[in-house]
Structure 1
Amino acid sequence: MGYVLDGEGLDGLVRELARDYLVFAPVRKVGAGRFTDVDQVIYDFVDDASQIELDAKSDYSFKELLTPLSQTLFYYTEDQVREAGGIGSAGDPAREGDTRDVLVLMRACDLHGVKRLDAMYLHNGPEDSFYRRIRDRVHFVLLGCPQTFEHCFCVDMGSNVAPDNWEFSLERSGEGYACAVENESLLPLFERYATASRDVVPAHVTQNDVHVRVPKTVPLELRTSPVWDEYNHRCIGCGRCTLVCPTCTCFTMQDVAYTENGRVGERRRVQASCMIDGYSTVAGGASYRKQHGERMRFKVLHKVYDFRQRFGYDMCVGCGRCDDVCPEYISFAACVNKLSDAVDEWDAQHEGSVARDA
Structure 2
Amino acid sequence: MALRLSREAFNHALKDLSKEYKIYAPIRLKEIGRFSETDVVRYGEISMVEEIVTDEKSHFSPKEILFPITQTLFYFTEEEYKEPKEDGKKIIIFLRPCDINGVKRLDQIFLQNGKDKDIYYECLREKVKFFMMECVEGFESCFCVSMDANKTENYAAAIRFGEELLLEVKDDGLMNIFQGLGKETNFTPEFIEENRVKVCLPDVNKITLELFEHEMWKEYSQRCIACGRCNFVCSTCSCWTMQDIFYDENKNNGERRRVWAGCHVDGFTDMAGGHGFRKNYGDRMRFKTMHKINDFKKRNGYHMCVGCGRCDDICPEYISFSNCINKVTKIVGEERKS
**1:183 aligned partner:** 171
Q: Deviations over 1:302-352 (max 9, x none)?
A: 001100111111000000000111111111000100111111111111xxx
**1:145 aligned partner:** 135
Task: Give the match's secondary structure for 1:156.
Answer: coil
The residue identity in structure 1 corresponding to 2:106 is L
Task: Give the match's secondary structure for 2:273.
Answer: helix
- After superposition, residues 347-358 of structure 1 pair within 5 angstroms as 347-349=336-338
**1:340 aligned partner:** 329
Report if aligned partners of 1:57, 1:149 keep a CA contact under 8 Å in 2.
yes
- After superposition, residues 299-338 of structure 1 pair within 5 angstroms as 299-338=288-327
Q: Distance in 1 between matches of 2:167 and 2:299?
A: 36
Report if aligned partners of 1:143, 1:171 keep a CA contact under 8 Å in 2.
yes
Shift of 1:133: 1.1
Report if aligned partners of 2:11, 2:47 keep a CA contact under 8 Å in 1.
no
**1:292 aligned partner:** 281
5+ unaligned residues in a row in structure 2: which ranges? Answer: none
Shift of 1:262: 4.8
From 152, 155, 167, the equivalent of 2:145 is 155
- After superposition, residues 45-194 of structure 1 pair within 5 angstroms as 45-86=45-86, 98-125=87-114, 126-162=116-152, 164-173=153-162, 175-194=163-182
From 183, 199, 202, the equivalent of 1:212 is 199
- After superposition, residues 214-293 of structure 1 pair within 5 angstroms as 214-217=201-204, 218-258=207-247, 262-293=251-282
Figure out how many residues of one structure are paired with residues of the other and give that number. Answer: 335
Q: Deviations over 1:109-156 (max 9, x none)?
A: 000011111111111121111111111111111111021111000001
The residue identity in structure 1 corresponding to 2:189 is P
| Greater share of helix | 1
RMSD of Structure 2 on Structure 1 (CA)? 1.4
Task: Give the match's secondary structure for 1:246.
Answer: coil
Report if aligned partners of 1:15, 1:49 keep a CA contact under 8 Å in 2.
no
5+ unaligned residues in a row in structure 1: which ranges? Answer: 87-97, 350-358
Report if aligned partners of 2:217, 2:286 keep a CA contact under 8 Å in 1.
yes
Shift of 1:180: 0.7
Report if aligned partners of 1:227, 1:342 keep a CA contact under 8 Å in 2.
no
Q: Distance in 2 between matches of 1:33 and 1:259?
A: 32
Shift of 1:49: 1.7
Task: Give the match's secondary structure for 1:131.
Answer: helix
Task: Give the match's secondary structure for 2:305.
Answer: coil
Q: Deviations over 1:67-90 (max 9, x none)?
A: 11111111111211101244xxxx
Q: Distance in 1 between matches of 2:226 and 2:336?
A: 31
Please say which of residues 234-243 and 19-28 is displaced more in the overlay. 19-28
Give the alignment's TM-score, normalised by structure 1: 0.90
